[in-house]
Structure 1
Amino acid sequence: SSISRLMHSYILEKYPLQADAVADNWRKRLAEKGFLGKTTVRIAVLDWDEHEASTFSGDSSYVAKSDSLVSYYIGKRCEIASTGYIHCSWLSAFTVSDMVLLCFFVLFCVLLYLCRSYICVLYYRMLRGSSPAQPASLVSIEVGEQNPVMAVAESGPHVYRLEDGLLFDADSRILRKGDKTVKLTASLAKLLKHFLEAQEYRLSMSEIKQILWPEDMEVADSRVHTMVGRLRKSLSEISEWQIVNGILCYQLERCSNE
């Protein structure tokens, strides 16, 4: 409830979270589950004017410019964002049996490459009855694009109707779907409006900085991650729309439950 969130903001102002303490606690819990990779925690404080101050625990050099979906937001307006980062080698995702199968697959590909000429001749002799006059030509096939995001229709001067019945009133900054409503802050409403009007609903990091902080030439990437995370959380409370991470950009799309 709003009262509880306001109380959380007051408590955290009096007793602020320490990034190192949160990271130690999280690291112990992950170790109990068998996770042995690196972890880092970022504590970001967003004041009433939506100015952000953040601190990291331990070595943050490998996550300084990255985003994380492991975020938890506490408080209302004057928020505390606790973001967790995990990092491990891709080899740790493989079991022993996976490594054995991978070795066999690589060996098979190498043998197939070395014996490709013999296999081609054998194929034509067995199935065609003769050797090919010349090597078969490669055929280029164009793969169709993925299903695009459904178009967003504008049903009023500043009211947008999304494909799953979600309404966004840019003037009142309200998301509405059925009986549910979510009120956005001015910055989040501006960001969502630009997502809806952007080509393929995609915005780059530099575009988001220009939209939200046009006069600030040295905006940290972490401020962008925080604002996108807050908008992502608001959308998840009322609809199937989500903001996915791209390469130096974000894209608004509908999540499929199929």
Structure 2
Amino acid sequence: MKRSRLIFFWGGIVACILITSIYVYSLCCSYPERVAEWNVQAEETFVKALELEVQKRGNIVVPFVAGVNSPEMKTLKSPYRSFVTLTSRYGTHDYEIPRVKFDNSLIKDTEKRMLLSYVLEEHPLNADTLNTSWNSLLIRKSIKANTGIRLSTIDLLKQTSVVCSPDSIKILEGDSLLSRYLGFRCEVEATGFVSYSWWQALEVWPPIIILLLLWLCFFLLFSYYKQITLFLRRKFVKKETVVNIQEKTIVVERKMHLEEVVEQTGLYELADGTILDSRKGLLINEEKTRQVQPQTIILLKLFLCAKDYRLTAEEINKKLWEGKGSSSQIHAAIHRLREALKDASFLIVEKEDKYYCLKMPHSIEKNSTEA
């Protein structure tokens, strides 16, 4: 492998690995930030979904008497009390309300909490319905999450019953996002669970596609490195044609094309970048060196010096055998030249009418013309 191609290969590999590493590192760093941002919005939407479920029960009529003889005047909001006393069919009992439950109560007004206890006893919350409502609110905010709901209720005998939304066992195994409490005794606990898939949170498919395209482009460039460099050289590079005439050197600067032959101390540069060393009998390209027989070198130089690189069988016979060669000898010489070029160059020898022509393959000529 030629040094320039080797440098291109390892330079491209290092560049692609570096870009991929930076991309992956940035995604890993952004994941905690994205999750924290989504958690904040998930908490807001959970509370909103819970409020919507409670509002659905707002028109239920509840008989309420504050005193024995007459209604009792109530303030809009009652202060926190660690114990509340409630008389029921099970007698009169004191119920403890932890401060954390009161602070996270959906409704803090004493009277409304009492009403809500009655409403939720007659019309309890549905975990599946609440979870569906929460999911719909998250989707509106373009948040892709897996959610679950657990409803825990403590009855008047202080026994706890638990109901969970369907298909949420794996989510419920983790830590809860938050809990909200409802009722006079804060006896109903609604807990929301949420988890995120890393590929959903990071939206990794667009970056992955970009990285795959990057690597694909690199390997395509490397695979067609020789053709690309040949095209660029033919398109932009200017070469010096050196011709020896009567021991004087004439230097002509022109754009390199198929008709151009570079001769200097027995070296010829063919149109595809292959070097012919006529003195050492070598064809040299980017990847390997091919030893060529002296007669094949003479024949190749005849083509290079001929007009339009075309020779008849008679011209070849005259130059190589002084007109005494046979058709089989001519065919053998052409065959050896073709084999030498096939291993070391893009140039080919084709038969057109009565001429043998040294030329570039049609596919390369077409690509160069279209470009």
State the TM-score, normalized to the length of structure 1.
0.40
Please say which structure displays the higher CA radius of gyration: 2
Query: Higher relative CO (CA 8 A, sep ≥ 6), structure 1 or 2?
Result: 1
Query: Greater helix share, 1 or 2?
Result: 2
